[in-house]
């Protein structure tokens, strides 16, 4: 490694001494990339032939110079030198797509016809951060906000007026890191992460073992009808590490469109039973304003906390929280049931605002009782008739 690279890393870690900074692996540890005949014949490149990229990762921006012949594999290897994120864990955003598909790793960068100083974003987690997530559950627990829930009264119109300025500020400040472009004609599925898709306080050998039963099969099943967005109430650092450990960023049977963290949320006050509660919300208007093809008629938000969709209660479906993974994983069937519901309404309903998501299990039972029984493995009887309560 050159002295310049080492100096760059030291400058980006001002609270550590040089001896504490983990330097990137030596070139011998990088994946072997055979040189082409052109590269062997002409190892030196003129400055005018260089392709210069500005790559943002977390809070840092790196300038990467590549030759005309180098590929995305070479780019990822260079980014590994800067960030210590293994190439297999890197997701590069901001490159031109072909028919909605990202370019192949073997494609020469020059073929993308990028402008000088083209800006891209890299998403990826270092191995040490993944190990920290797997081994330090207390750190993850501290990052999850208050999970005390309550039923928010149907005064979302009033809340939208009271907190209009906060909403507009979040609309202006939210940065959408598009992982896979939205597909025309697809509904929008917004998913919470902690306690909705995995048990963030559970005890297991790895984070992957805390995923909710049927997680990947569920996402693969609904993907043909829905574009999938994850919106978590945790910070970006832990969110990225969790998604990586759960193998959700690099899945082949489904794709995430983008991910939002707690910085896109804002605080409101709701009054319930003569008590005032301060809590944060996930305002779907932030997404709808950026992507006008989505709105209340084709969006559903799944969360274990109903207070999170206080501004859009008609679009919210509260799911049973997934806790105590070691024992509950043997009986938890929520995602299997939710799979049926989401596919049924995608096939049958043109306007989601006509639905009462509080009665989602009853909807499944009335239209597909056999599927309901199979999905619940007989653990649940028919949903109670609300008119009889």
CA 88 to CA 214: how far, in whole Å?
Answer: 25
**Rg of the chain taking only CA atoms, in angstroms:** 23
CA 152 to CA 76: how far, in whole Å?
Answer: 46
In the numeric block, which tokens belong to residue 279? Answer: 């809590």
CA 195 to CA 205: how far, in whole Å?
Answer: 18
| Topology annotation, domain 142-388 | Rossmann fold (3.40.50)
Asked whether the whole model's pTM tops 0.85, one would answer no
Taking the domains of the chain in order of start, what are their residue ranges? 3-124, 142-388
Put the strands of the sheet holding 118-123 in their side by side order.
Answer: 60-66, 51-57, 118-123, 91-93
Torsion of CA 256, 258, 261, 263, to 10 degrees: -170
Q: Which residues of 10-45 are buried (b: 16+ CB within 10 A; e: fewer)?
A: eeeeeeeeeeeeeebeeeeebeeeeeeeebeeeeeb
CA 344 to CA 18: how far, in whole Å?
Answer: 58
| Topology annotation, domain 3-124 | Ubiquitin-like (UB roll) (3.10.20)
CA 291 to CA 277: how far, in whole Å?
Answer: 31
CA 25 to CA 79: how far, in whole Å?
Answer: 12
User: Which pLDDT score is estimated for 234?
Assistant: 83
Fold match flag (3-124 vs 142-388): no
Taking the chain (389 residues) in runs of 10, the rounded mean pLDDT of each run is: 38 39 39 46 50 86 84 90 86 81 87 88 83 56 50 65 85 90 97 94 79 96 98 85 88 95 85 76 96 98 93 94 89 96 98 97 95 86 60
CA 352 to CA 294: how far, in whole Å?
Answer: 12
Half-sphere exposure of 215 (CA within 13 A, CB side): 22
CA 193 to CA 230: how far, in whole Å?
Answer: 7
Strand partners, 71: 108
User: Which pLDDT score is estimated for 43?
Assistant: 42
């Amino acid at each position: 490694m050159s002295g310049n690279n080492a100096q760059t890393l030291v400058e980006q870690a001002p609270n550590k001494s040089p001896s504490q900074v983990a330097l990137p692996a030596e070139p011998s540890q990088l994946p072997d990339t055979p040189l082409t005949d052109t590269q062997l014949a002409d190892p030196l490149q003129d400055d005018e032939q260089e392709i210069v990229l500005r790559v943002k990762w977390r809070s840092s921006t790196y300038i990467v110079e590549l030759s005309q012949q180098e590929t995305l594999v070479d780019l990822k290897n260079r980014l590994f030198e800067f960030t210590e994120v293994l190439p297999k864990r890197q997701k590069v955003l901001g490159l031109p797509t072909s028919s909605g598909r990202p370019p192949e790793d073997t494609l020469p960068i020059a073929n993308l016809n990028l402008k000088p100083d083209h800006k891209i974003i890299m998403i990826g987690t270092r191995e040490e951060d993944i190990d920290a997530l797997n081994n330090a559950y207390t750190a993850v627990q501290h990052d999850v906000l208050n999970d005390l829930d309550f039923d928010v009264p149907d005064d979302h119109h009033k809340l939208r007026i009271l907190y209009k300025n906060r909403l507009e500020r979040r609309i202006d400040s939210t940065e959408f890191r598009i992982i896979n472009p939205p597909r025309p004609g697809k509904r929008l599925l917004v998913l919470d992460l902690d306690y909705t898709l995995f048990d963030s306080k559970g005890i297991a050998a790895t984070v992957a073992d805390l995923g909710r039963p049927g997680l990947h099969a569920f996402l693969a099943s609904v993907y043909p009808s829905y574009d999938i967005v994850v919106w978590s109430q945790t910070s970006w650092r832990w969110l990225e590490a969790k998604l990586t450990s759960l193998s959700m960023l690099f899945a082949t049977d489904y794709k995430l469109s983008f991910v939002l963290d707690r910085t896109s949320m804002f605080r409101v006050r709701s009054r319930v039973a003569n008590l005032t509660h301060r809590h944060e919300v996930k305002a779907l208007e932030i997404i709808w304003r950026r992507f006008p093809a989505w709105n209340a008629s084709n969006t559903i938000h799944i969360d274990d906390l109903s207070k999170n969709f206080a501004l859009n209660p008609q679009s919210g479906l509260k799911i049973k929280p997934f806790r105590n993974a070691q024992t509950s994983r043997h009986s938890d069937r929520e995602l299997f049931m939710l799979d049926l519901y989401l596919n049924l309404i995608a096939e049958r309903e043109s306007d989601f605002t006509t639905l009462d998501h509080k009665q989602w299990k009853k909807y499944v039972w009335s239209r597909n009782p056999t599927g309901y029984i199979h999905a619940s493995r007989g653990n649940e009887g028919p949903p109670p008739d609300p008119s009889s309560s």
